[in-house]
Structure 1
């Protein structure tokens, strides 16, 4: 019999809690470690949609990348959105385990999964920890150089579709071979990507001013901005593979395909002439 505690132990071996940032909230959020598990659902966001999916699938454990209760709370009343999810999971016998910045820094981790989806061969972390193997982001190489316009199309093809799509900033003809990637919001590592001399940097949640200032630096890498959820979704299959190898045949491991990216509508609008 496989238990919640067994699955938690396997995930914490792959994504050690010690790698999590001090502000983070990782680990088992709710659920009894002694309870048996026959089905696990893996997702990016523990939200109403994925909790619905876990309950509908009869899963005993929901494994999520993002924490449900990141900031300190003094209660989880069912009348609040997050409290309601906790109560629903407990009533349905669904535990919740979260691996966040520990999964970001682990080797392999979130950015390794993103790099693999893009066809990159990883050579090391973008922002390494002391051991030189773990840390935020990854540096990788394409099999051969390709124009930046083609590389942006590669990213769009590799990741799940979202309303906002994929945006590229840079010369479409610039040759791209060496690439930095960081799953999730990565504009805090723009300067580091520049210092490492990569040709392009793929991440999420890039803002106007940091991106504009970055591109003004001579030699700065071209930028590819993707949806936060899409950049981290490849990790779900990575985590699933770890559990299948450990518990295959005894536990059904499923990756959620429900898009939990909050942006649902996007339009290019009409081409309007700027006066003057």
Structure 2
């Protein structure tokens, strides 16, 4: 029997429990009939026009996205609004949309585990753990052998999909790097946690000027910083989620190959 949308949801909820989501978050089924066959599923970071186009081209009946489409409260989804147009198109095409956001960030394994694995790190625990468990935001890991920071920055660039902004490093290029903290998505709120963990480097996205600068000016030993784009830092999770979905039974799963990072020009 083909797996239904409900079967896929059950597998995802088991891997990324909804109760791990932050109180402000919006996770779960956005549109679609749980009783319908899932058929072909597309996994992506962003539910945007480009990935909906991709789903239509693939003949997918379900999209599983990391980022919510409707994060803030809405009073309607008119087709003449950007997000409303996507909802109407998915309904017309018979495509269900399911989102796993901060629950996938905190789950074990979750978004940051996928990032750590892509970088060749052995995970030792969460960066910001939830009380009494092995879940939480970010991960701490270690390389098999120490390498210079300049080499490590190149490792990050080689491991993640290319983006126009690329990968940026802040630190001594010759500094030995062995222990590393990672946080998929916007992570400068965890600069203090990375420092307290005593790691050599911290990899995350959306590093802002003042928090990063103030971090590097702190007295004492602080982690070197590697900045990547939000989309690139979370894209490795798509492969992890695809494996979870395959466990739901008879379903075909594709990982999106379309870069939905908003930055497309450099000068």
Q: TM-score, normalising length from structure 1? A: 0.95
Instruction: Check whether the contact 1:42–1:256 (CA below 8 A) recurs between aligned residues.
Output: yes
- Identify unmatched segments of 5+ residues in structure 2: none
SS at match of 1:146: strand
* Alignment size in residue pairs: 265
1:12 aligns with 2:13: yes
Q: Which residue of 2 aligns with 1:113?
A: 114
Q: Which residue of 2 aligns with 1:145?
A: 146
Matches within 5 A, 1:153-164: 153-164=154-165
1:245 shift after superposition: 3.2
SS at match of 1:40: strand
SS at match of 1:246: coil
Q: What CA distance in whole angstroms lies between the structure 2 residues aligned with 1:261 and 1:116?
A: 21
SS at match of 2:60: coil
1:228 aligns with 2:217: no
Q: Which residue of 1 aligns with 2:72?
A: 71
SS at match of 1:75: coil
Q: Which residue of 2 aligns with 1:55?
A: 56
Instruction: Check whether the contact 1:125–1:132 (CA below 8 A) recurs between aligned residues.
Output: no
SS at match of 2:166: coil
1:38 shift after superposition: 1.1
CA RMSD of aligned residues (A): 0.7
SS at match of 1:107: coil
Q: What CA distance in whole angstroms lies between the structure 1 residues aligned with 2:37 and 2:149?
A: 49
1:243 aligns with 2:250: no
Q: Which residue of 1 aligns with 2:264?
A: 264
Q: What CA distance in whole angstroms lies between the structure 2 residues aligned with 1:97 and 1:112?
A: 21
Q: What CA distance in whole angstroms lies between the structure 2 residues aligned with 1:80 and 1:38?
A: 29
Q: TM-score, normalising length from structure 2? A: 0.98
Matches within 5 A, 1:119-198: 119-198=120-199
1:131 shift after superposition: 2.8
4+ aligned runs moved over 2 Å, structure 1: none
- State the Cα deviation string for residues 130-170 of structure 1 (Å, max 9, x = none): 13300000000000000000000000000000000000000
- State the Cα deviation string for residues 88-124 of structure 1 (Å, max 9, x = none): 0000000000000000000000000000000000000
- State the Cα deviation string for residues 146-199 of structure 1 (Å, max 9, x = none): 000000000000000000000000000000000000000000000110011000
SS at match of 1:113: helix
1:243 shift after superposition: 1.6
Q: What CA distance in whole angstroms lies between the structure 2 residues aligned with 1:22 and 1:158?
A: 32
- Identify unmatched segments of 5+ residues in structure 1: 268-276
1:246 shift after superposition: 3.3
